[in-house]
Structure 1
């Protein structure tokens, strides 16, 4: 079904419903959201005109990317794998080789995943002028793929590579071509993908994997993402804080706020006296601060909000 309506600023939008099929393999079970809760979220969005939107892994699970912490379907629930630590990556050539070998095998699938209805609705919210910024904890680039422009990547992006030594940057797709040339006999497939795009490989598959140095200075290459144990750059922290202050509300989607980098954003919003709404499955670290909380799947709830808007033929 395709719905077309015109907003109060004269912009016309075409919304497609039921054409997108969610991938629910990594979405935890949840009860349906009530119509009353959907209406409350619609009122929250209608009331505020400069939304700061904070997104987490729970919006990308419907695109086929697992999160870490969800009950039964998160990575921690399905395996004993722990994400790589920043100091480990910095200090060990063997760990870097293992990381890049796994990342190399997982990259074709990870990089091909597409935005889902949540990403598309947030893009359209931005288009009609409702979004001050989108702060995402995700490194999957799906907001940008969907067409959102006002995106702050809190934890960086897996689609860019940096050098420890000279800060030279290249696109991850370019590095994949270099890996292919250096490792022509590397053949591996896997069905298990991880939140940051790497996969499980045997030690034998890893030990002969060749990792290039920076072609600018010979330094160590690292994905331009914030590893566990690494600090968020100060300029990003300040940029987020400024956007919180310039917004009139904070809308949180698909995160338990377990990391301090995301929890700090809630504290900043509370300090700035901004109303806060959240859509998430399960408890969060900051439930006590929420003015409105909806339990449920982001794609389901936001599409219902959008259908209400479409039926009213307006977004205020």
Structure 2
């Protein structure tokens, strides 16, 4: 599929906006690449790298758990320093102008909220929070970073290439020598408060998003290939209900044949121009 130049794409999106005033917006990793957070998939929707660790491996294999936290220890500072970009700012403006009823994001970086969006459902959770799998107590990821640093001082000077969602491409190290703290309250296993592969989106969160979809008159997808079913199903449900769908994404998506409007251009530039 050919890309749409920004002026053409913006004009088509502006016309689409004029016909739909209660938007359900679904966003993905492509929204945050402009903030320095890499995405997982290429323009064809294929993995660029090894797929993320699964929940089963994280909880069931000590070496995988230590490897995850070691890479996260190196990658987290860059994630924490990321700033919203033009996509986040434009969608925040859309909400402020009354165009968006709810924004459902598959991202875990919190950048939509930092840009000013308020009606946000974090479908896959938030990477800046850590939860105990034993007692459910939650702490900030910044606090976890301090504990990891205190327990692993020899790892503090390491550097590695940035990977998606606060990960880092840290290889060639003995991860069995990386110590992972347990919950200070119950001694349970600590996990980022995000939905790992192999986990399901919590039912109440899904139902909240579905209710928002029902209250909307159109769906706008921004920066997502929709290859993950937890996001794709909303587009499919919208189509089955006769709700129009527009997609703004560079590259192929799983729902191209369901969209009444598909635009391939820089999302930040298109959204900013479409708003005038």
Give TM-score scaled by structure 2 length. 0.94
Alignment partners' CA distance in 1, 2:171 and 2:9: 47
The structural deviation recorded for 1:46 is: 2.5
Query: Aligned runs of 1:1-316 on 2, under 5 Å?
Result: 31-33=3-5, 35-71=7-43, 76-77=47-48, 79=49, 81-306=50-275, 309=276
Please tell me the root mean square deviation across aligned C-alpha atoms, in Å: 1.8
The structure with more radius of gyration: 1
Q: In 2 relative to 1, CA 114–231 (structure 1 residues): closer, same or farther, beyond 3 Å?
A: same
3-state SS of 1:118 partner: helix
The structural deviation recorded for 1:286 is: 0.9
- How many residue pairs get aligned? The number is 275
The structural deviation recorded for 1:271 is: 2.5
Alignment partners' CA distance in 1, 2:161 and 2:90: 28
Question: 2:9, 2:270 within 8 Å by CA — same for their partners in 1?
Answer: no
The structural deviation recorded for 1:140 is: 1.2
Unaligned runs of 5+ in 2: none
The structural deviation recorded for 1:209 is: 1.4
Question: 2:3, 2:263 within 8 Å by CA — same for their partners in 1?
Answer: no
Higher relative contact order (CA 8 A, sep 6+): 2
Question: 1:179, 1:211 within 8 Å by CA — same for their partners in 2?
Answer: yes
The structural deviation recorded for 1:222 is: 0.4
The structural deviation recorded for 1:45 is: 1.6
The structural deviation recorded for 1:32 is: 5.0
3-state SS of 1:185 partner: helix
Unaligned runs of 5+ in 1: 1-29, 310-316
The structural deviation recorded for 1:113 is: 0.7
3-state SS of 1:106 partner: helix
Question: 2:6, 2:269 within 8 Å by CA — same for their partners in 1?
Answer: no
Give TM-score scaled by structure 1 length. 0.82
Alignment partners' CA distance in 2, 1:63 and 1:296: 17
3-state SS of 2:179 partner: coil
| 1:45-84: CA deviation from partner (whole Å, max 9, x where unpaired) | 2322211100011111111111111149x9943x4x3310
